Amino acid sequence: MDNQELDNNNIEEKIVYSNTIEEEPKDISLSSEKKKKSPLLITFGVLSILSFVGVIVLLCLFFCGDNKSNNVLVTPKPVQTGELRIAYVNTDSILTNYDYAKDLEANLTTYQSSLEANYQAQGKKLQTDYENYLKTGDKLTLTEQKKKEEDLTRRQQEFPMVQQKMMAQLQERQFEDNKKLLNAVYAFINDYNAKNQKFNIILSRSYISSTVLYADDAFDITDEIIKGLNQEYKNVKGK
């Protein structure tokens, strides 16, 4: 027996290995955003965002065990078994054909017209007061003239802020309308799917912004959703 064999007999070998494979869940978030043009000065569309959260698929592979026993490979278990049922909704069509969306847009336009009329009235009043002062100011005392000039100057300086305030009010109203519309659509789709138990995933598709590049028309449930939305809105509106 040579030296190499002697050395091999005196060596205690210990092999510790571990292998961990982690797959982070992929969060597929599908969203659709439609920007409708208002005939006046709307800064952004009634719907800025219409997104529908899709599905999370998890596949995890673990090696389990401790240092005193052999590692055991566990076969990964899928989160969901059975046939995956998918459908999609065209959000452009919802904005065009949903009666609630139409009413929100019409009401927003009316509100905007009211703000613009108020702004123009304040501007006209300021201009009239200034012109009247030029005509009759010399009949006032110096103290009255100074007071009137200070008042006109203050109003003139604050007038641009009036416009900014009205634009902020319009945007706030628009934001609230967007929220109402989104909540109505989300709630209906959740209720629709819960009652019918049809689909595992319902995606959003639009012409301008969509992660769905292609989908077979057989998966399109837009007409069915719009019909249900309008019927629900009609029932609520009639009460």
Encoded tokens for 80: 């969901």
Model confidence pLDDT, tens digit, residues 154-185: 999 999 999 999 999 999 999 999 999 999 99
Q: Which of 26-40, 53-67, 152-166 has the lowest mean pLDDT?
A: 53-67
Strands 72-73 and 63-64: antiparallel
- What is the percentage of the chain residues whose pLDDT exceeds 70? 65
Distance of alpha carbon 49 from alpha carbon 29, whole angstroms: 13
Model confidence pLDDT, tens digit, residues 89-143: 999 999 999 999 999 999 999 999 999 999 999 999 999 999 999 999 888 999 9
pLDDT for residue 172: 96
Model confidence pLDDT, tens digit, residues 195-232: 887 899 999 998 887 788 888 999 999 999 999 999 99
C-alpha distances in Å from residue 88, one per residue of 53, 103, 150, 185: 12, 25, 62, 13
Residue closest to 108 by CA, chosen among 17, 27, 157, 177 = 177
pLDDT for residue 198: 83
Question: At 81, is the pLDDT very low, low, confident or very high (cuts 50, 70, 90)?
Answer: low
State yes or no: pLDDT of 189 exceeds 50.
Answer: yes
Contact predicate 46/174, CB 8 Å: yes
DSSP string, 118-154: HHHHHHHHHHHHHHHHHHHGGGS-HHHHHHHHHHHHH
Distance of alpha carbon 54 from alpha carbon 49, whole angstroms: 15
State yes or no: pLDDT of 42 exceeds 80.
Answer: no
What are residue 73's DSSP bridge partners? Answer: 63
